[in-house]
A = this chain, B = another copy of it.
């Protein structure tokens, strides 16, 4: 409904030394990762060699009933997944974790990212007799592992070899009958970190791997470290072990994780997401100063940047927009006559904050611009004298190939129109994007490099010129 960008997934894995409530932990952690994907979710649990699982369309609180949790709640290892399905309604077959039965040991897989050579690999495997039941990269990863598994001694060695073939972005969690293995692609495009579980005496009792550190505290885990770009981490009864074969790059973490995708209480590669957003706001003051009375942010993701803009500029920060918390995913546009309703119902202005004021509005990005146009209208109706839009990201000029919905279409507006045309179209007094030169400063001090391909067109690897968004779309060949 609203023109927002979407991260497409979040992953979770847990390994405990004793049979414990791993399902409860997975459930709790998926709540904390829900912002990374809201259309489907799933948990697979390894209960003494049996993989039980539940996957479904919907939010964590819709898919997991008390009965399901009770049915699953027994085991030492679990993985979980939240997904933002890129496509249409009925794609239950794309839910994860993928659960695979195999003679060499059953396996469950969940991943966040996108393989750029998925189609190529798929065809290779199909020519050897493989069949594909989804348009999901997890299935390609499963075949890549299985291909090695036949001859390899261990599942981690299989993954290690498979990674020579996988190209693209992936943070992956693999559950075998006895191990939890997690890995990040050699560029480390999507985040992944590890936490330690303790008992009441402070002794370690297991490990958890999560897309973002914000999911650790809810399960009483302490942040240990990020998984390195290219690193494979194996957790088993023998403890935690690292395989560094693919760790030969500095890494190219998606910079937009800091700007929008991640939750502000996460820390990625040593940098607080909240601080990164504050810094983006500060940078915007240098780039696009303005004489104004108040700075407000579009809740929730741009409040931090608005605070940064305020701090640096000295213009007071205030809470000038209220976001309706009860919209759900099923808001029905009740009529064509009341236009703008869907935005008006979602966001409203606090009159006493904006009335008669010159208002700086900080938001994270601009996609189609329709929401922003109505938002500015709302602010003017509430009495704002001037509205100055500041965006904590540069314009999207190129598509993303690594697991988000920043497609060619998403980048169209910024490509088609001048800054001033966009400003006029949304009805702002001034409009300022974060400069592409400064975008990496946002995450200054991080332990890695960055991918800002959607802004710059420079990607950490070759990408097919016209890679389709959903590569396996079900066009039939014969």
Contact = CB atoms under 8 A, between A and B. Distances in A.
A155 interface: yes
B129 A129 contact: yes
Interface in A46-103: 46, 49-51, 53-55, 59-62, 64-66, 68-69, 71, 73, 89-90, 92-93, 98-103
Copies of this chain held together in the complex: 4
A31 B103 contact: no
Given A35-B325, A349-B265, A477 B127 contact: no
Nearest to A128: B129
Residue of A54, A122, A219, A350 ringed by the most chain B CB atoms within 10 A: A350
Given A105-B478, A476-B49, A478-B177, A218 B318 contact: no
A264 B347 CA distance: 12
Contacts of A263: 322
Contacts of A406: none
Contact of A326 (B61, B102, B303, B353): B61
B478 A28 contact: no
Interface residues of A, number: 119
Contact of A100 (B125, B132, B150, B265): B132
A371 to B, nearest CB: 15
Residue of A60, A131, A150 ringed by the most chain B CB atoms within 10 A: A131
A32 B218 contact: no
Interface of A: 20-21, 23-25, 27-28, 31-32, 34-35, 38, 46, 49-51, 53-55, 59-62, 64-66, 68-69, 71, 73, 89-90, 92-93, 98-107, 122-123, 125-135, 139, 142-143, 146-147, 150, 155, 176-178, 214, 217-220, 263-265, 267, 272, 274-275, 300, 303-304, 307, 311, 316-319, 322, 324-328, 330-332, 334-335, 337-338, 341, 344-345, 348-353, 378, 381-382, 472, 474-478
29 contacts: A23-B334, A24-B337, A24-B338, A28-B334, A28-B345, A31-B326, A34-B324, A34-B326, A35-B326, A50-B476, A54-B90, A55-B92, A61-B330, A62-B330, A92-B92, A101-B131, A103-B126, A107-B131, A126-B146, A129-B143, A177-B478, A217-B344, A263-B322, A264-B319, A264-B322, A272-B350, A303-B319, A307-B318, A325-B325
